[in-house]
Amino acid sequence: MSLALFENVSLKPYNSFGVDVKARLFAEARTDVQVREGLALAAQRGLPLLVIGGGSNLLLTRDVEALVLRMASHGIRVLADDGVNVLLEAEAGEPWHPLVLRTLEQGLGGLENLSLIPGTVGAAPMQNIGAYGVELKDVFAGLTALDRESGELREFGLEDCQFAYRDSLFKREAGRWLILRVRFNLSRSPQLHLDYGPVRQRLQANGIEAPTPMDVSRAICAIRSEKLPDPAELGNAGSFFKNPLVSAELARRLRGEHPDLVAYPQPGGQVKLAAGWLIERAGWKGFREGDAGVHRLQALVLVNYGAATGEQLHGLAQRIQADIEAKFGVALEMEPNLI
């Protein structure tokens, strides 16, 4: 057996909140064989298997009585290239943002709006990551996953994944599918997505009239760096709450009470509200209790100032949810997976 197994390992370095809890067993899988070894070892020890990537979408509230398997596989390869369109495949353990930069440096567009999102390639399809008008599904070409129930490999196409807003089949069937590698449709003649005002404004402020995908990426990195704290400096998991979808009727009522409500009409008649606006209007922006708090510049981000526990952060999140429900009649849903 090639998988190295360790006992009672602190997961503080392996989650972006920097919460210090321990894993009963811990291992890193760099190959498909080691993934299967991890599954077998968990079964032999009578423990659940918790698979993690970059740990940027986790809130750990207690010690983990499981075998925690960190996906550490690496590899990026071109599967097809017709001179314009490129089919690229990346292993699940590849860090996301370096992959984005690598594609841009090679003149390939498609991932630029998803720049500076923390995490790994394997985690990206789980919640259909998205930012600035682009979601993973817009560039998705397929993935290979291991069925933990049968032990068989399965290839997934776009429709198979059932992508939705911050959602997918893999998130709804958590614990069944283990994503091994993901494929992307990229292009040397991409269609840029500049619908979000801040991106276009940043490009104009930099005097860029005919932006390239790299220009868009740099603008988005600058915007995100100003709004979102670096997990290496201040523990966080990025946007903590999803932007809620509400009925048009509720949105009209709220706009009548709050003319500056930030809302976006959606196909099907629903309206997407800005969760950050709701939280800031409710007075939570910059709130701090001990080492658990809400970021002073972005109300959508919960932060660990040093020694906050997962339970304290979860408790703060629940208080915010209850307050937004009481003030606006809107239910907020957490983005991170609660362990």
Convert the pLDDT of each residue in 42-72 to its tens digit: 999 999 999 998 888 889 999 999 999 999 9
DSSP reduced 3-state for 79: strand
Per-residue model confidence (pLDDT) at position 1: 67
Active site residue 239: yes
Residue 316 token pair: 């703060």
Is-contact 65 47, C-beta < 8 A? yes
How far apart, in whole angstroms, are the C-alpha atoms of residue 152 and residue 314? 36
Per-residue model confidence (pLDDT) at position 56: 83
Is-contact 331 241, C-beta < 8 A? no
Which of 1.10.260.40, 3.40.50.300, 3.30.465.10, 3.30.300.10 would CATH assign to domain 76-227? 3.30.465.10
pLDDT band at 113 (very low <50, low <70, confident <90, very high): very high
Tens of pLDDT along 174-225?
Answer: 889 999 999 999 999 988 988 777 888 898 888 888 899 999 999 999 988 8
Q: What percent of the chain has pLDDT over 70?
A: 100
- Residue 229's nearest CA partner among 73, 116, 68, 94 is 116
How far apart, in whole angstroms, are the C-alpha atoms of residue 52 and residue 66? 12
Across the beta sheet with 64-71, the strand order is: 6-10, 22-29, 64-71, 49-52
How far apart, in whole angstroms, are the C-alpha atoms of residue 257 and residue 253? 7
Higher pLDDT residue, 243 or 174? Answer: 243
Active site residue 173: no
Query: Of the residues 56, 115, 239, 281, which is catalytic?
Result: 239
Which of 3.40.309.10, 3.30.43.10, 3.30.9.10, 3.10.520.10 would CATH assign to domain 6-71? 3.30.43.10
Active site residue 218: no
Ranges of each domain in the chain: 6-71, 76-227, 235-338
Is-contact 61 314, C-beta < 8 A? yes
Q: What is the DSSP letter of 141?
A: E
CA distances 92 to 22, 89, 177, 247, 261, Å, are 24, 10, 13, 37, 39
Query: Of the residues 28, 91, 112, 335, which is catalytic?
Result: 335
Query: Of the residues 36, 166, 188, 200, which is catalytic?
Result: 166
Report whether CATH 3.40.50.2300 matches the domain 235-338. Answer: no
